[in-house]
Copies of this chain bind each other. A is one copy, B any other.
């Protein structure tokens, strides 16, 4: 598998075009409307927010993605169109309908996503009148404009692509993302869009997307909130002409690796683009009975405010890590727990290893990217989770967001 940077992103796979433009929804005049369109019908899959309050775009896309022949994804930023009652539902449907006229396809073949402020009516006039321009400007070269049009408080656009062989044919995967429930938590929305020219069966594509999402986007947190609009979608148009990938075919693992590679790159870009984030912490929990147990413990640590503020303050306070481990809901045994900061052993069998080790651990904590490893001493399963520190800047940003779309 080779991977080329800054070349194609979402339009890197064959048969995809993209665009992005300024419709005027954002007061700051930045791009706020994006389109991804495939020349041919696509197999599609999606993972969506677990929040029970879902934006109309989420409800509509999660319904439509079950169907067949998906052709396009339209994304607006600056307004989440969430909690807008029936008007919000009508507006979202209307965007799809109007777009379908310009694309000449059934509206049910169009997926939608939105991100931005909650509870404000969409400026439909601006969006609808920008649609013809959005369709006309869609091109292979439009990947960067497309990535920009989905940004909110992101400081950089996020694109990635990978190519490799699937059942002996060259296959490409591309993707774009915006932060961020976890990075710019004030927006609390994560959007990820992926394309591939692989031929793949729907069930296989669904499994690939959900497993990759669990390992990447669903394994990071800044504040533990899940937005009304979180969405990850993948379109596969089969233009690579490979033998269609099924769950049991040889190509499955190859395609899985390509999608994982793109999503890991997007995750890394998301994590590094955090306002108010001074440190990134990779939490590895091992020695668990099950992967799910490991994940729960890692998540408990990742979400603990006391742990996150300790990282911000570069305070080697392993007691807080123990507290978070004990709060995870997973059965643990204090006397079996080992904790490492980077390569420095801090706790062995539940007991601190003393001041000298703490001094060494402090050197690790001064870095910007830190691996914290907790071994439970119960089984052999492992999971990782990404988190950030909790900084004074985080509070400043989040204490006064609404005014600045």
**Interface, chain A (partner B; CB < 8 A):** 50-54, 80, 82-85, 117-120, 185-186, 188, 223-228, 303-306, 309-310, 312-313, 315-320, 322-327, 331-332, 334-335, 347, 349-352, 390-392, 394-396, 398-402
CA A320 – CA B350 in complex, angstroms?
Answer: 38
In this complex, which of A84, A323, A327, A394 has the most chain B Cβ atoms within 10 angstroms of its Cβ?
A: A323
Question: With A117-B319, A399-B312 as given contacts, are A351 and B185 in contact (CB-CB < 8 Å)?
Answer: no
14 other contacts beyond A310-B398, A392-B392, with CB at 8 A cut-off?
A52-B331, A53-B326, A53-B332, A53-B334, A83-B351, A118-B319, A119-B351, A186-B306, A223-B304, A309-B394, A315-B400, A392-B395, A392-B399, A395-B395
CA A314 – CA B319 in complex, angstroms?
Answer: 33
> Do B350 and A83 touch across chains, with their CB atoms under 8 A apart?
yes
In this complex, which of A185, A225, A332, A401 has the most chain B Cβ atoms within 10 angstroms of its Cβ?
A: A225
Taking CB atoms, residues of chain B closer than 8 Å to A331 are 52
In this complex, which of A53, A304, A350 has the most chain B Cβ atoms within 10 angstroms of its Cβ?
A: A53
> Do A402 and B305 touch across chains, with their CB atoms under 8 A apart?
no
Chain B proximity of A288: nearest CB distance (Å): 14
A selection of 7 A-B contacts at a CB cut-off of 8 Å is A51-B323, A52-B334, A53-B334, A119-B318, A188-B323, A223-B305, A224-B303
The 10 closest A-B pairs by CB, nearest first: A313-B399, A118-B319, A53-B326, A309-B398, A51-B326, A85-B351, A223-B305, A119-B352, A52-B326, A313-B400
In this complex, which of A223, A228, A399 has the most chain B Cβ atoms within 10 angstroms of its Cβ?
A: A399
Taking CB atoms, residues of chain B closer than 8 Å to A312 are 395, 399
The dominant DSSP class at the A interface is loop
CB < 8 Å neighbour of A306 from B84, B85, B324, B398: B398
CA A83 – CA B335 in complex, angstroms?
Answer: 8
In this complex, which of A119, A325, A351 has the most chain B Cβ atoms within 10 angstroms of its Cβ?
A: A119
Taking CB atoms, residues of chain B closer than 8 Å to A392 are 392, 395-396, 399
Taking CB atoms, residues of chain B closer than 8 Å to A186 are 306
Taking CB atoms, residues of chain B closer than 8 Å to A223 are 304-306
Chain B proximity of A392: nearest CB distance (Å): 5
Minimum CB distance partner of A391 in chain B: B395
CB < 8 Å neighbour of A319 from B50, B82, B390: B82
CA A315 – CA B327 in complex, angstroms?
Answer: 31
